[in-house]
Structure 1
């Protein structure tokens, strides 16, 4: 038997197409299942063709599930996880699911789910957000994670040459964003001034170099601390910890062309705080204040009209 007659090994075949041996086994089985290869997993079926999938126009994508069907994933389980997230997604194209819940739905072990959700995160197809529940006592408890569907598309960074300090648009931009943080009030000392300079450089990096939208950065820093702030710069860095990587466009934003932003009250359109667990369609808990903002007349006030 000559070297030509020796079939190529699965490992060597995977090396040619930049796949691991296990992933190559999965793809070969898929081609056999769909009558593209013979049972020996090497011989093409006569007349069978493999073409590129047809692209779905953006205007035809209406739901998260429509979008998932256009996405190329690493393997079958990653796609099944995306389909599950899309099925449970809310109006912001995000689903809150636990690892045990996903494992039970897909019939696999929880460790397998952790591996494949890391694949989806690395491929910028989901953004995993931790969700915490705050009790009246002030203690927090971690809830199930929230999976935000991502498009995999990165925002082009706005790289500018480094000009003189305080004489460029980016630093003015950073100062305007920093002014939205009411808790930012470092002492008027050399140490406090240096903290402000470092904060501006940090915001320039987040906004201009990594491409994060102003509204998203402002949403993260517009908080009300429960205690007095002693180290302003450390608090700012902790709030922007997730912004140290390039911004990935969310799937919903890519399809609709408009950012999701904060969830707003369905009655008065007032945005809920960034730390709240509000969902689209929810209304304010203070019904009278909500009605006043919406311009409605409360029932008890209507009796005095006339």
Structure 2
């Protein structure tokens, strides 16, 4: 037998899984009693040399601490990289195959903070034991692998004109892409209705009728591409725009995912078994046929029978021109095209 361990994740090795289980059970029962390598091999049904080889491999892959006896907190060695349904972010991260070891270090640092949050590159590099330059070089690898989604965060400066960049926000992603189903007219109609309700719920979006129609079509196309409504709302409303929005449609289109961008299931949702697709009707529990899944989660029969009332959403409408209904400034009767510059009387 070769004196080196074959390459691959520990999850694919039955001996590594058995050895890790032995260490975990012993650590819980007698944390102060140190097992010898020979005793570990006996419990695993292998020789001392074999046990040492697999033990070293678990230490190398950060499943066991450097002392060779203590399992890393939150680590698992489940077959196929599976994690329990109630797994913590760190448990998920240590079982994910990262693009390279350095990416794995950064991923575990992020997971140690939570499923999502905000942390600067200096903090990540220091916690991972690497330089900031090294982290910036490996960060795109995690994005390309669809394991992390980074969001730039800025705030309005005190002068009210410039913006100051803060630590980027992040969100752990599963890497699982949801494919858009084959299109059909029924799904398009359902997406159109849901898109109208979604756009109307965005407080800062106030635009002329033509622009509202464009927004409905934009959101409907994303819904048909299997983007969940809650994810679209999250992107649209966070962060809240500062002050007056001069081009609502332009801002909305830049915040929503592009036409070529596919929806990736967040890591937290993947661990819990949640996906964007709804294979069963949420009313009668009947299975949808093929890819014909409606965005509202109802089959044709239930949708015709049920009318789901939309909760009223409080919104503050921006002032509009009394002639053409275009959006105007906070103290105007008419837009520039209709001869504005008449102020609202006190």
TM-score bracket, normalised by the shorter chain, equals 0.5 to 0.7
Match of 2:163 in 1: 140
Match of 1:268 in 2: none
Match of 1:178 in 2: 199
Match of 1:156 in 2: 179
Map Cα deviations across residues 116-158 of structure 1 (whole Å, 9 max, x no partner).
1100001010111222344565453211122211111112324
Deviation of 1:56 after TM superposition, in Å, equals 4.8
Match of 1:168 in 2: 189
1:123 aligns with 2:145: yes
- Aligned positions of 1:197-208 closer than 5 A: 197-208=213-224
- Aligned positions of 1:286-305 closer than 5 A: none
Match of 1:65 in 2: 90
Question: CA separation in 2, counterparts of 1:181 and 1:74?
Answer: 38
Map Cα deviations across residues 8-53 of structure 1 (whole Å, 9 max, x no partner).
xxxxxxxxxxxxxxxxxxxxxxxx995449xxxxxxxxx9999x97
Query: Conserved in 2, the CA contact under 8 Å of 1:180 and 1:222?
Result: no
Match of 2:261 in 1: 245
C-alpha root-mean-square deviation of aligned residues, in Å?
Answer: 3.5
Deviation of 1:61 after TM superposition, in Å, equals 5.0
Match of 1:28 in 2: none
Question: CA separation in 2, counterparts of 1:120 and 1:199?
Answer: 32
Higher Cα Rg: structure 1 or 2? 2
Query: Conserved in 1, the CA contact under 8 Å of 2:222 and 2:257?
Result: no
Go from structure 1 to structure 2 and tell me whether the alpha carbon gap of 1:132 and 1:226 turns closer, same or farther (over 3 Å shift).
closer
Question: CA separation in 2, counterparts of 1:157 and 1:205?
Answer: 11
TM-score, scaled relative to structure 2: 0.51
Match of 2:343 in 1: none
Map Cα deviations across residues 200-257 of structure 1 (whole Å, 9 max, x no partner).
2211222211x22111212333476444333231121122256861121111111124
Equivalent residues, number: 208
Question: CA separation in 1, counterparts of 2:134 and 2:249?
Answer: 39
Deviates more, 1:167-176 or 1:70-79: 167-176
Question: CA separation in 1, counterparts of 2:246 and 2:117?
Answer: 36
Go from structure 1 to structure 2 and tell me whether the alpha carbon gap of 1:74 and 1:183 turns closer, same or farther (over 3 Å shift).
closer
Question: CA separation in 2, counterparts of 1:217 and 1:75?
Answer: 32
TM-score, scaled relative to structure 1: 0.57
Deviation of 1:98 after TM superposition, in Å, equals 1.8
Deviation of 1:64 after TM superposition, in Å, equals 1.0
Deviation of 1:78 after TM superposition, in Å, equals 1.0
Deviation of 1:58 after TM superposition, in Å, equals 3.9
* Equivalent of 1:79 in 74, 97, 104: 104
Structure 1 runs not aligned, ≥5 long: 1-31, 38-46, 260-306
Question: CA separation in 2, counterparts of 1:142 and 1:97?
Answer: 12
Q: Secondary structure at the match of 2:150?
A: strand
Match of 1:255 in 2: 271
Question: CA separation in 2, counterparts of 1:56 and 1:217?
Answer: 30
Question: CA separation in 2, counterparts of 1:142 and 1:242?
Answer: 23
Match of 1:294 in 2: none
